[in-house]
Structure 1
Amino acid sequence: MNFLRKNNKASFVFFIITAYSFLGFGLGYIIWEYLLSK
């Protein structure tokens, strides 16, 4: 049970990092497109 909780927390942290990277990439892409269109 303890191993399952640790594994779940690790996957949760990995999910947060992936979500943040996708969010940052999306924001960077929007800003880049905005700068190119000006």
Structure 2
Amino acid sequence: MKGIKMETTSNDFPTPDDFYEGPSDEELKKIEQDLEKYSD
């Protein structure tokens, strides 16, 4: 969700970019791969 950065978010989380964009993308990829495995 790049481009959507609110000041309140940085106040709630010390590192919003690392928290959301870092693991979220990797987890989404893993989830997609798992879905493909189970869908076969």
- TM-score band w.r.t. shorter chain: 0.5 to 0.7
State the structure with bigger RCO (CA 8 A, min sep 6), 1 or 2. Answer: 2
**Bigger Rg over Cα:** 1
Q: TM-score, normalised by structure 2?
A: 0.52
Structure 1 stretches of 4+ with a deviation exceeding 4 A read none
Q: Identity over aligned residues, as a percent?
A: 8
Q: How many residues are matched?
A: 27
In structure 2, list runs of 5 or more residues that go unmatched: 1-9
Q: Which has the higher helix share?
A: 1
Structure 1 gaps, min length 5: 1-9
Cα RMSD of the aligned pairs, angstroms, is: 1.8
